[in-house]
A and B are shown apart, each in its own frame.
Chain A
Amino acid sequence: MTLAQQGDRRPVRWLSWFVSDDPPGRIPLNIFMLAILLVLAFAPFLFPGTKALGVSARICIFVILVASYDLMLGYTGIVSFAHTMFFGIGAYGVAIMLAKGWVGWGAVVLGATAGAAVAAVIAALIGMLSLRLRAIFFSMITLAIASFAQIVAEQWRNLTGGEDGLTFSVPAILRPSFHLFAKPVLGITVNGPVITYYIAFAVALILFLIMLRVVNSPLGLVLRAIRENEFRVEAMGYQVVAYRTLVCVLSAVMAALAGALMALVLRYNGPDVTLSFSLMIDILLMVVIGGMGSLYGAVIGSIVVVLAEYYLQNVLASISAAIVGMPVMSALFHPDRWLLWLGIIFVLIVTFLPQGIFGRLRSRR
């Protein structure tokens, strides 16, 4: 190989290192995933508007949330219903700090850190006490604890704002009134929400790459082996409960950090936003639609479900308007039926793509 050829390959090697030598798949799939990264990187400029910016930020946050859930479900075979609880703990960490009179970045960092620490401790306790049980009992325990956390958030009004939640001021640089540049850049005013988006994007990218490194480390190898047969792993000298607890803690910390970002983006937090069971269903949908056991699947799943949640109604409205003369069909495509169509999409994907969209794309290599 000539030096020139080595030079040509250097960016590829660097990219490969960047993704822990675990690229999405063959070249077309790699290009596709890179395109998604670039679209998210330039989302404020490609899709101007408050709604589009909110949707993009939500996708970034859900990528972390869903990928961290996949660490448990897809990589280790643990079914937990408490993931939104950790998401909520992170969000409440930031929300409580900012709503209770603390100001500035110190409060944000402290709130996020405290949320992550509390999530880690609770996850460790749940793991150590429950992960020896059979899978179904562990799932039921996490469901009970998540329900308890939601009730606590709704009842402890002094701290959490109860069902109304907490509204708070974010640091000045993140407020809509803040303008980073005097003039628009590429036609877009770089204000607080745009800066908030880029913080969410950067944190999501960093956390995603950290998780990718974890699953491609010896720890990730043990986790995948546990998913396949925990008794064989024990017979090789590994403490399965310790590894499962470790992955629960890691997953909980990631979810809490995602929650902290959500609070910053919304400038609000309440039980319906970060603790609800419907959010847990969304996470499960995203993992299954994207594909379990591959963090890239979390990216695809998050994009598909978030876009469907926000734009499926618009698509249905267009279809319904186009077939307005056909009574039954028009009613079937009425925008209010979007959940029905989301359900149909989910059933079709589970039926025809049991390994999820990304799993299917990757298996073509």
Chain B
Amino acid sequence: MTAGEDAMLRLEGVHTDIGRYRILHGVDLIARRGRVTMLLGRNGAGKTTTLRTIMGLWRARQGQIVFDGKSLAALETPHIARLGIAYVPENMGIFGKLTVRENMLLATAPRGFAQPNLDRVLDSFPMLKVKWDSAAGSLSGGQKQMLAIARAIIEPRRLLLIDEPTKGLSPAMVGQLVGALLRLKAEQTTILLVEQNFHVAEAVGDDFAVMDEGRIIHTGAMAALIADKALQHRLLGLSMAAAV
């Protein structure tokens, strides 16, 4: 993958410290417009920190983060979000004491729901209709993940950052979630997706980048990774093999 003109998001030499520890050691990454880029790697490789750094939740100590030609380095998190970047964190990021409706409304306030957008999201996640007035905290893990993604896409977004959406979900839930991600992909939504489950990665990914010890160690087309078992084994090793 090269830094082509279709890059929606580009990270160049990004270093991030958390406390006294340097977690990212010069991350170079591209998420191309209209494509799903999988960010792969073992636990502790720096995938979540990369997403949080893009959102400004951790500040990059060095390096450039450019979104559609605009540098994000000096922007506060709310400004970054208002550029059209939605973040679905690993712990789902829902508000448990608010109802499903209120969680969704929060993403559209103060305008309220646009009916076509609401219809589209509820078609993708019909479960939400049933739980509409329930407290979000009472949902199952999979339902919370659905809600978190639904909330992220209720308004048109230019880039989705999704962190391990299938973690801890039952196979049936994973299947539903993959379906939802494929619909987003069909709509040409640009997605940077952190995932440990290789089945999910091969089902939805267009491109991939593998992280290890705070660096990107390999990038390429997902199809090439799927076809090359030796490369899979070399790059992803035991951490992903368990999920294959």
Q: Which residues of A contact B (CB under 8 A)?
A: 218-219, 221-222, 224-225, 228-229, 231-240
A229 touches B57 (CB 8 A): no
Residue of B nearest to A235 (CB): B87
A234 touches B81 (CB 8 A): yes
Please indicate the chain A residues that have their CB under 8 angstroms from the CB of B57 in the complex. 231, 234-235
B69 within 8 A of A: no
Given contacts A218-B110, A235-B93, A237-B82, contact A225 B98 (CB under 8 A): yes
A249, chain B: closest CB distance, angstroms: 18
B81 touches A235 (CB 8 A): yes
Please indicate the chain B residues that have their CB under 8 angstroms from the CB of A231 in the complex. 57, 77
Residue of B nearest to A227 (CB): B97
Distance A221 CA – B87 CA, assembled complex (angstroms):
20
A83, chain B: closest CB distance, angstroms: 24
Residue of B nearest to A224 (CB): B98
B106 touches A225 (CB 8 A): yes
24 residue pairs A–B, Cβ–Cβ below 8 Å: A218-B110, A219-B110, A221-B98, A221-B102, A221-B105, A224-B102, A228-B95, A228-B98, A229-B95, A233-B106, A234-B57, A234-B76, A234-B77, A234-B81, A235-B55, A235-B81, A235-B87, A235-B89, A236-B78, A236-B81, A237-B78, A237-B82, A239-B76, A240-B78
Per the 8 Å Cβ criterion, residues 98-157 of B in contact with A are: 98, 102, 105-107, 109-110, 112
Distance A225 CA – B103 CA, assembled complex (angstroms):
9
B110 touches A228 (CB 8 A): no
Residue of B nearest to A238 (CB): B78
- Give the residue among B76, B95, B112 with the most A Cβ atoms within 10 A: B95
Please indicate the chain B residues that have their CB under 8 angstroms from the CB of A228 in the complex. 95-98
- 3 closest A-B pairs by CB: A237-B81, A218-B109, A218-B110
Distance A235 CA – B52 CA, assembled complex (angstroms):
9
Please indicate the chain A residues that have their CB under 8 angstroms from the CB of B98 in the complex. 221, 224-225, 228
B39, chain A: closest CB distance, angstroms: 18
Residue of A nearest to B136 (CB): A228
Contacts A221-B105, A235-B57, A236-B81 supplied; 8 other A-B pairs, CB < 8 Å: A224-B95, A225-B98, A229-B93, A235-B77, A235-B93, A236-B78, A237-B78, A237-B82
- Give the residue among A224, A233, A235, A240 with the most B Cβ atoms within 10 A: A235
| Chain B interface residue count, Cβ-Cβ cutoff 8 angstroms | 22
Distance A232 CA – B147 CA, assembled complex (angstroms):
14
A221 touches B81 (CB 8 A): no
Residue of A nearest to B137 (CB): A228
Please indicate the chain B residues that have their CB under 8 angstroms from the CB of A233 in the complex. 106
Please indicate the chain B residues that have their CB under 8 angstroms from the CB of A229 in the complex. 93, 95
Residue of A nearest to B83 (CB): A237
B189, chain A: closest CB distance, angstroms: 17
Distance A239 CA – B75 CA, assembled complex (angstroms):
12
Distance A219 CA – B109 CA, assembled complex (angstroms):
8
A243, chain B: closest CB distance, angstroms: 10
Distance A219 CA – B105 CA, assembled complex (angstroms):
11
Distance A225 CA – B98 CA, assembled complex (angstroms):
8
Please indicate the chain B residues that have their CB under 8 angstroms from the CB of A222 in the complex. 106, 109
Please indicate the chain A residues that have their CB under 8 angstroms from the CB of B109 in the complex. 218, 221-222
B106 touches A236 (CB 8 A): yes
Distance A225 CA – B94 CA, assembled complex (angstroms):
9
A239 touches B78 (CB 8 A): yes
Per the 8 Å Cβ criterion, residues 49-65 of B in contact with A are: 55, 57
Distance A218 CA – B98 CA, assembled complex (angstroms):
13
Distance A138 CA – B60 CA, assembled complex (angstroms):
27
Given contacts A224-B97, A228-B95, contact A234 B78 (CB under 8 A): yes
B202-225 interface bits toward A, Cβ cutoff 8 Å, 1 = contact, 0 = none: 000000000000000000000000
Residue of B nearest to A237 (CB): B81
Residue of A nearest to B82 (CB): A237
Distance A236 CA – B76 CA, assembled complex (angstroms):
12
Given contacts A235-B77, A236-B106, contact A225 B95 (CB under 8 A): yes
Distance A150 CA – B119 CA, assembled complex (angstroms):
56
B21-65 interface bits toward A, Cβ cutoff 8 Å, 1 = contact, 0 = none: 000000000000000000000000000000000010100000000
